[in-house]
Structure 1
């Protein structure tokens, strides 16, 4: 753990805990450490180990660097886990003799990864994903009938969570392999909604390759193949595909397609309550956040649209942290283009507070921070500190 006084570390933890409206007992329970440990750390009587620091930071939904300046423990944990994720899926189609774990047990573990993904807790996913990928693959190869369909769904869900880590931390080849594993599993679920979700996630490979035109074509084919929107789940699945298609159409510079898909997403979003459907957040607020994303994707000529939306609406706390922080990062990009570096820096700080791991690994956040620092080179120390934290200097 980086050098810092015990009292400073304890004060930082206590301050963040109070901001989260958590008691010491709440923090101890969520971080899986004893109440005596939390009390001792906050008093400055003891220093947390690296593992304890990570657990406390995860429970507080902050990066360890928020507690101890300069901590890079999250990055090292994620990158150390990536080879294990790769190894776990290297022979995905080859059965083993290992006895499978009970499906209910695997469902609980997979659901935890989904919640961590929505909360942008990538280090926690990275640690658990290799074993859970292995276990869900084993379950799929041993199962038959309805249990096989269930196991395939769990594998698809786990692959998606692991992909979030690989994609966010720049392991694009591994991400592409995980997406293909997800598609392979989804095809075995006998559930068109699972295949629609896989098509939604597959868009990452097109973003990474800057292959926006074929990406839009793939999404439009997925929309045509998706179930009719006659219930909440099918409505959300189709709406999410339209939402994603609007963004990639914006990256193509296809304003007509972006507008059309956004209109479709808006209509479907108004028909369902905001919620996570099969691991994908969708509803009126998600569509509103994507309006900013589409405006920014279309480029600097559309920056005023993004600014106008932010003037009248900001994401509610009920949205997942990853989606909230994405809104503030994209708004910061628009504010930089509009010549408003102070506002952009404030937006980046909000994004960091909400989801530090997501913000730190987002290329647009890093780009915006670097631009702000160039424009305001002689400005406050806090800007330089932020730029160093995000890797923009």
Structure 2
């Protein structure tokens, strides 16, 4: 059986690849690593078993990133079920909270955003802000994601309450990765932009984003989210050339994430309707993402 330190090193690498994001690398390496880690977990007991459960939860989270991003929602649901069982066995509060954070994907996929929000509220209620960095970050991350679910459920007041709670939690920590989730003041600001887009207020999204870019302390996947939302807001406000430029930036930040992102495809399709002779950059982006452009005749 591999030493715990060896498993921890491998899992840290998978977390880094997920956040980069490097889905191809994950798809190549996870199938050989998972059986080894699972055998070690089933052979262990006591503290070692709990530690391996915590590490395996992060490994299955990396596997879910592939399933969720590429629309294999049945597989994603199965992976998330295993992840939650492992998190519970770990006995680690931030890991249990991270599992709830991931479980919210199921409610995004089904459109049952109110139920997902309530699930996250219950998970956050089990956390406190005085439990140290990882605990405060877990609490804030749950509220950050609950804010997005509330916005998509058409509950702007709830969304504001949750993003305010997340912002308060962010004052207790530096921007960093906590239990596999990026959290801190910059992450909260990125989500604030997303909320404005989801609320149908692109002008407010542009106001929040004005003059700011996410620091490199934020993982590439989340930084690309900021640029994807910003491009969406720019397109809705008629700033078409800015939107194309911003999508090019998003592509450079996280190409494997941006190429298949449904919001990118919808923004490109919307932009394509506005041009008779599309800019070269727009044509290239539509080809790269596989969008069937419908340029104006």
Tell me the TM-score normalized by structure 1. 0.72
- Match of residue 291 from structure 1: 192
Deviation of 1:129 (Å): 1.3
Q: Please tell me whether the aligned partners of residues 351 and 359 of structure 1 are also in contact (alpha carbons under 8 angstroms).
A: yes
- Match of residue 90 from structure 2: 189
- Match of residue 59 from structure 2: 158
- Match of residue 149 from structure 2: 248
TM-align CA RMSD = 1.2
Deviation of 1:347 (Å): 1.1
SS in 2 for 1:187: helix
The equivalences for 1:254-333 within 5 A come to 254-298=155-199, 300=200, 302-333=201-232
What is the CA–CA distance in structure 1 between the aligned matches of 2:84 and 2:246, rounded to whole Å? 35
What is the CA–CA distance in structure 1 between the aligned matches of 2:274 and 2:163, rounded to whole Å? 34
What is the CA–CA distance in structure 2 between the aligned matches of 1:152 and 1:213, rounded to whole Å? 30
- Match of residue 149 from structure 1: 50
RCO (CA 8 Å, sep 6+): is it higher in 1 or 2? 2
Deviation of 1:119 (Å): 0.7
Q: Please tell me whether the aligned partners of residues 229 and 238 of structure 1 are also in contact (alpha carbons under 8 angstroms).
A: no
Q: Please tell me whether the aligned partners of residues 276 and 282 of structure 1 are also in contact (alpha carbons under 8 angstroms).
A: yes
What is the CA–CA distance in structure 2 between the aligned matches of 1:371 and 1:324, rounded to whole Å? 23
What is the CA–CA distance in structure 2 between the aligned matches of 1:234 and 1:315, rounded to whole Å? 23
Residue-by-residue CA offset, 1:300-335 (whole Å, 9 max, x unaligned)? 2x2111000121322112211001101000111111
Deviation of 1:381 (Å): 2.5
What is the CA–CA distance in structure 1 between the aligned matches of 2:217 and 2:132, rounded to whole Å? 23
- Match of residue 387 from structure 1: 286
Q: Please tell me whether the aligned partners of residues 244 and 281 of structure 2 are also in contact (alpha carbons under 8 angstroms).
A: no
Is 2:283 the partner of 1:347?
Answer: no
Is 2:247 the partner of 1:378?
Answer: no
- Match of residue 131 from structure 1: 32
Is 2:60 the partner of 1:179?
Answer: no
**Quick check: which has more Rg, 1 or 2?**
1
What is the CA–CA distance in structure 2 between the aligned matches of 1:196 and 1:317, rounded to whole Å? 25
- Match of residue 122 from structure 1: 23
SS in 2 for 1:281: strand
Give the count of matched residue pairs.
292
- Match of residue 62 from structure 1: none
Is 2:130 the partner of 1:229?
Answer: yes
Deviation of 1:228 (Å): 4.6
The equivalences for 1:100-111 within 5 A come to 100-111=1-12
Deviation of 1:101 (Å): 2.7
Residue-by-residue CA offset, 1:265-291 (whole Å, 9 max, x unaligned)? 011101211100011111111111110
- In the TM superposition, structure 1's runs of 4+ consecutive aligned residues that sit over 3 Å from their partners are none
Q: Please tell me whether the aligned partners of residues 87 and 96 of structure 2 are also in contact (alpha carbons under 8 angstroms).
A: yes
Unpaired runs of at least 5, structure 2: 293-297
Deviation of 1:227 (Å): 4.3
Q: Please tell me whether the aligned partners of residues 192 and 227 of structure 1 are also in contact (alpha carbons under 8 angstroms).
A: no
Q: Please tell me whether the aligned partners of residues 103 and 139 of structure 1 are also in contact (alpha carbons under 8 angstroms).
A: no
Tell me the TM-score normalized by structure 2. 0.95
SS in 1 for 2:90: coil
What is the CA–CA distance in structure 2 between the aligned matches of 1:174 and 1:123, rounded to whole Å? 17
Deviation of 1:105 (Å): 1.5
What is the CA–CA distance in structure 2 between the aligned matches of 1:289 and 1:360, rounded to whole Å? 20
Unpaired runs of at least 5, structure 1: 1-99
